[in-house]
Amino acid sequence: MSRSTHLFPARLRAEAGQIITLGWPIMIAQVAQDAMGFIDTFMASLAGPSELAAIALGGSIWLPLMLTLCGVLMATTPLVAQQVGAGNEKASARTLAQALTVAAALSVIAVMLLNNARPLLILFDVEPQLADKTAAYLSAISWGFPALLAYQALRSLSEGFGITQPLMRIAVIAMLANIPLNYVLIFGKLGLPPLGGVGCGYATSILFWLMLLLGIAHLRRDPRLADLSRPRQWQRPTGADLIHFLRLGIPIGIALMIEASMFAIIALLLAVDGETVVAAHQITFSVTGLMFMLPLSVAMAMTIRVGQLVGRGERAQARFSAHCGLGLTVLIAAVNAATLVLAGRLIASAYTEVTAIIELTVTLMGIAALFQLTDALQVGAGGALRGYKDTAITLLVVFIAYWLIGLPAGHLLARAAELGAAGYWWGLLIGLSTGAVLLLTRLYRISHVDPSPRPAVTDTLADRLR
């Protein structure tokens, strides 16, 4: 037996350990951010159904916008990871300047859109009183978007260096601060007037600014990041710099928008089937969405790890790391699937006592259990591909798998085959399976490319033109 065979288990454990070390703080941060939405919904419901409706309707507008814009800035992570891997950490200051410039431009767009959302609400025939509350809520939350996007740039820089635990602490602090802020602003405490759902919007904006301040403090305290966070280290981005950044980031943002919009479209299409179907769909979606945080966190860790290894020119090790990460997502998928099958009825019963909703939820969870594997593999492959700075093809795959295959197939099964809500979830299985096959194929091709005729790392398009 060869020496490499003896070393393989240890090597496998070491690489998996690297990914887990990077990934578990990201997972807690993601769960904390999701919990902020739950807190908003719960506390707004105490203020009355109209306030809850305004937040729910407003969330369907600003959350997809947030995912899209933050997705563009997530390009910072693979860029910085490859620079760090190449030992060119000072170049990350230039990447940070690019990210902050893009964040500033996107902030202007976000504030303008959120402060002019009323025509959209009128287009969808929202009743005037609810439209007023929703528009006011969106305006309140818009003023936090500049801070949110700037924080995303700082967060992505830190992740590119493989520094993730401070980001977890920031997310947990923001989640805990959300409760008293909502209490004061929604219900009018400490001498302030009760603002209802609008107060929830202002609370969220304040939290975004708090996260930015904590992010700046983290950068200034960390010895690896302190110099990079000083503006004197930044270089004014050139047009070529920004084009290179956007060519990497825009596909990430649009891919996230496509994923989020598909679930929103399914919810709208199911609205005609009545509250029982909608409730079962929403329960299943919320449970599987929480479970999805596990493979997603591994995927985000894979972006960092693969990017750093590619930056160091260790292509074989990067390929091995991607395989380890995919293996971890498969293990997570197995646990998630088993949980949905074995505890589905118990989970559904915790949400409602209505038998019809429970029964349909159990059926949908059974279908969701089937696509845990393909969902985990497609998100893991996408994370690894971002580490290789390969995002354009990923966007194309997501569009084909979700919009050209998954959603039409689901609609056909739901309506023509009369499977109802289950048809859309079978469509998700088909779409996610297609995406997994295509992304794994792309990852295999990219990870086996021999880059020796070219430099291992190209920081910007400007570098290529010099």
454 pLDDT band (50/70/90 cuts)?
very low
Look over the chain and give the mean of its residue pLDDT values, rounded to a whole number. Answer: 88
Alpha-carbon Rg for the chain in angstroms: 23
- Number of separate domains in the chain: 2
Cβ contacts of residue 157 below 8 Å, gap of 6+? 76, 80, 92, 95, 96, 99, 219, 225, 228
pLDDT tens per residue across span 285-318: 888 888 999 999 999 999 999 999 999 999 999 9
Same domain, yes or no, for 232 and 252?
no
Same domain, yes or no, for 117 and 150?
yes
Same domain, yes or no, for 233 and 253?
no
Q: Can you say whether residue 238 is alpha, beta or left, with left for phi > 0 and alpha for psi between -120 and 50 degrees?
A: beta
Q: Would you state the pLDDT for residue 463?
A: 46
Q: Would you state the pLDDT for residue 450?
A: 62
2 pLDDT band (50/70/90 cuts)?
very low
Determine the Cα–Cα distance for residues 403 and 74; give it in Å rounded to an integer.
23
Same domain, yes or no, for 270 and 405?
yes
Residue 308 lies in a domain: yes
Same domain, yes or no, for 34 and 113?
yes
Given 207, 237, 267, the domain boundary residue is: 237
Residue 92 lies in a domain: yes
Q: Would you state the pLDDT for residue 461?
A: 41
pLDDT tens per residue across span 406-423: 999 999 999 998 898 899
Same domain, yes or no, for 293 and 348?
yes
Q: Would you state the pLDDT for residue 286?
A: 81
Same domain, yes or no, for 275 and 417?
yes
Q: Would you state the pLDDT for residue 233?
A: 67
Same domain, yes or no, for 221 and 253?
no
265 pLDDT band (50/70/90 cuts)?
confident
pLDDT tens per residue across span 37-49: 888 878 887 888 7
Determine the Cα–Cα distance for residues 67 and 202; give it in Å rounded to an integer.
19
Residue 426 pLDDT > 90, yes or no? yes
pLDDT tens per residue across span 324-374: 999 999 999 999 999 999 999 999 988 888 888 899 999 999 999 998 999
Given 170, 205, 237, the domain boundary residue is: 237
Residue 2 lies in a domain: no
14 to each of 18, 318, 320, 380, how far by Cα in Å?
6, 13, 11, 19
Residue 82 lies in a domain: yes
Same domain, yes or no, for 200 and 298?
no
458 pLDDT band (50/70/90 cuts)?
very low
Determine the Cα–Cα distance for residues 351 and 357; give it in Å rounded to an integer.
9
Same domain, yes or no, for 105 and 222?
yes
Determine the Cα–Cα distance for residues 375 and 382; give it in Å rounded to an integer.
11
Same domain, yes or no, for 264 and 150?
no
Is residue 376 within 8 Å of residue 295, measured between CB atoms? yes
Which of 84, 100, 108, 200 lies closest to 154 in space, CA to CA?
Answer: 100
Residue 466 lies in a domain: no
* Domain extent at residue 23: 9-237
Determine the Cα–Cα distance for residues 212 and 143; give it in Å rounded to an integer.
13
Same domain, yes or no, for 212 and 94?
yes
Q: Would you state the pLDDT for residue 37?
A: 81
* Residue whose structure tokens are 């891997």: 85
Given 237, 267, 302, the domain boundary residue is: 237
Residue 242 lies in a domain: no
Residue 355 lies in a domain: yes
Is residue 134 within 8 Å of residue 142, measured between CB atoms? no
Q: Would you state the pLDDT for residue 457?
A: 44
Residue scoring higher pLDDT (11 or 138): 138
Residue 151 lies in a domain: yes
